[in-house]
Chains A and B, each alone.
Chain A
Amino acid sequence: MTTIPTMVDAPLRRDWTAWGLTASVVVDDPTALDAAERTVRKLLDSVDRACSRFRDDSELSLLRGRLSHGVQVSPLLAMLVASAIQAAELSGGDVDPTLGNELHALGYDHDFAAMATTGTSGLAVRMLRRPEPGWTRVSLRHRLLTVPDDLTIDLGASAKAVTADLAVQRIATGLGCAALVCLGGDIATAGEPRNSPWRVLVQDTPGDPAQQVRLGGGWAIATSSTQKRRWVVDGRSVHHILDPRSGVPAQAVWRTTTVVARSCLQANAMSTAAVVRGRQAIGWLAGQGAPARLVDEYGRIFTTNGWPRDEGGGYRAR
């Protein structure tokens, strides 16, 4: 019997590299693919120009040294900062957008793809203790942004997640098709191809346990990892997810944390916070009501809030 590929099995996906990661867009309408790719590329560029700390000509970089007095910022930058503060609030401060200085001190001061991961000398992993969380000292009133001089904004993960959310909404509303946007493994969706959930493989590195799941349209999924974006500082391997309370990389209790939520921003905030919270993450995630899957340092899998068991073993929603 001949198998007729479904529409979404046709080449309706584009992949490319941006921000040192893989960007992908999938649509269920072949005539919309080119425009969908343009939409994502344009938005990636806009967000990069607004908030990248790796380029001197970004809006955020150009405002360096002036933010303590309060500056009117662009609508896009204001939205990105507001979203980052939302992520900080949701995570109880575990995801703090004011760790730019700490990341810089660890040597993460330019695009990771261009970083030397074999070793960095002259830097030291130093713990700090802030008198109060940095994000609570940031003020955003409409578009008036004020950041104390001793803090540097790093919108990193939240900007990526917001970009996925925004891109998929633009595609869905502008092109009228179901869409999935994936930025470095953070995925936002809008609609479902032929009313069938999206097929998503959850896996960090090739050696990590993998699971295929189906994700309802309008939902998002994000994975945080302590196995990627690692580099060596003074002989010590570090990763990029910092504990805001210490300013150093969080203890790698989890290799990978994956969370499903209504927006990619929320999923990303919770998956990142789970890394920071270590063993307390499971109880916290359960309380948040978000389906989650965590892989610990031994490769064991923990799930909560309706995350399905692997093939055939979990429950199936209506």
Chain B
Amino acid sequence: MNARIRGTRVARSVTTLIGIGSAAVALVAGGAFWHSTAEASAASRSSTHTHSSTTSTSTPSSNSTDDSTDSDSSISTGTSPVTPGRSSDSPQATSSGS
């Protein structure tokens, strides 16, 4: 009864909902869910690199160290769905926590 739901089982469950009432269109997004990670991975050629940005306007309140790398070798080629914007642009939306 309380069997663990694996991703494949959920995927089948979701598939069965196609065409049922108002939920149908949501499956477009649901269908992209699992695909998108691989797609994003393929788009990223340096997924294992992180860097500490210098764009912060805040001053660290302590000298505590961080275990992340501080490399400039992050992605310089390839494609990404998110690209720089201009601060002079008026934003169409704001992504903030809720």
Given contacts A199-B91, A200-B92, A313-B55, contact A78 B17 (CB under 8 A): yes
A265 touches B86 (CB 8 A): no
| Interface membership of A162, Cβ < 8 A | yes
A225 touches B39 (CB 8 A): no
Picked from B52, B74, B82, the residue with its CB within 8 Å of the CB of A219 is B82
User: Can you list, as one digit per residue, whether each of A213-239 has a CB less than 8 Å from chain B (1) or not (0)?
Assistant: 111100101111111110000000000
Picked from B22, B36, B75, the residue with its CB within 8 Å of the CB of A315 is B75
B95 touches A186 (CB 8 A): yes
Picked from B62, B83, B84, B93, the residue with its CB within 8 Å of the CB of A182 is B93
Task: Count contacts between A and B, CB distance < 8 Å.
Answer: 322
| Interface membership of B2, Cβ < 8 A | yes
Query: Chain B interface: which of A54-62, A103-111, A117-125, A133-141?
Result: A133-141
B28 touches A225 (CB 8 A): no
Residues of B within 8 A of A315 (CB): 75-77, 80, 83
Picked from B7, B20, B53, B85, the residue with its CB within 8 Å of the CB of A86 is B7
Given contacts A203-B96, A306-B75, A317-B78, contact A300 B60 (CB under 8 A): yes
Complex CA–CA separation, A306 to B43 (angstroms): 9
A141 touches B85 (CB 8 A): no
Residue of B nearest to A312 (CB): B84
B78 touches A306 (CB 8 A): yes
A142 touches B47 (CB 8 A): no
B81 to chain A, nearest CB (A): 4
B85 touches A213 (CB 8 A): yes
B85 touches A311 (CB 8 A): yes
B4 to chain A, nearest CB (A): 5
| Interface membership of A205, Cβ < 8 A | yes
A6 to chain B, nearest CB (A): 10
A273 to chain B, nearest CB (A): 13
Picked from B41, B47, B91, the residue with its CB within 8 Å of the CB of A212 is B91
| Interface membership of A52, Cβ < 8 A | no
Given contacts A86-B10, A224-B97, A299-B59, contact A304 B74 (CB under 8 A): yes
Chain A contributes a number of interface residues (CB within 8 A of B) equal to 112
The interface of chain B, by Cβ under 8 A from chain A, is 1-7, 9-10, 13-14, 16-17, 20-23, 25-30, 32-44, 46-53, 55-62, 64, 66-68, 74-87, 89-98
Can you give 26 A-B contacts (C-beta < 8 A)? A21-B98, A46-B22, A70-B1, A76-B23, A82-B14, A137-B2, A142-B13, A169-B29, A185-B95, A199-B89, A202-B96, A205-B96, A223-B95, A225-B96, A225-B98, A228-B96, A261-B37, A262-B35, A262-B36, A299-B56, A303-B74, A304-B47, A311-B85, A311-B86, A315-B75, A317-B81
The interface of chain A, by Cβ under 8 A from chain B, is 8-9, 13, 21, 24, 26, 46, 70, 74-76, 78-79, 82-83, 85-86, 89-90, 136-143, 146, 148, 160, 162, 165-166, 169-170, 173, 180, 182-188, 197-205, 208-209, 211-216, 219, 221-229, 256, 258, 260-266, 279, 282-283, 286-291, 295-296, 298-318
Given contacts A78-B23, A200-B91, 14 further A-B contacts (CB under 8 A): A78-B13, A82-B13, A86-B7, A142-B16, A202-B96, A204-B96, A212-B89, A223-B98, A260-B40, A291-B80, A295-B56, A299-B57, A310-B84, A317-B81
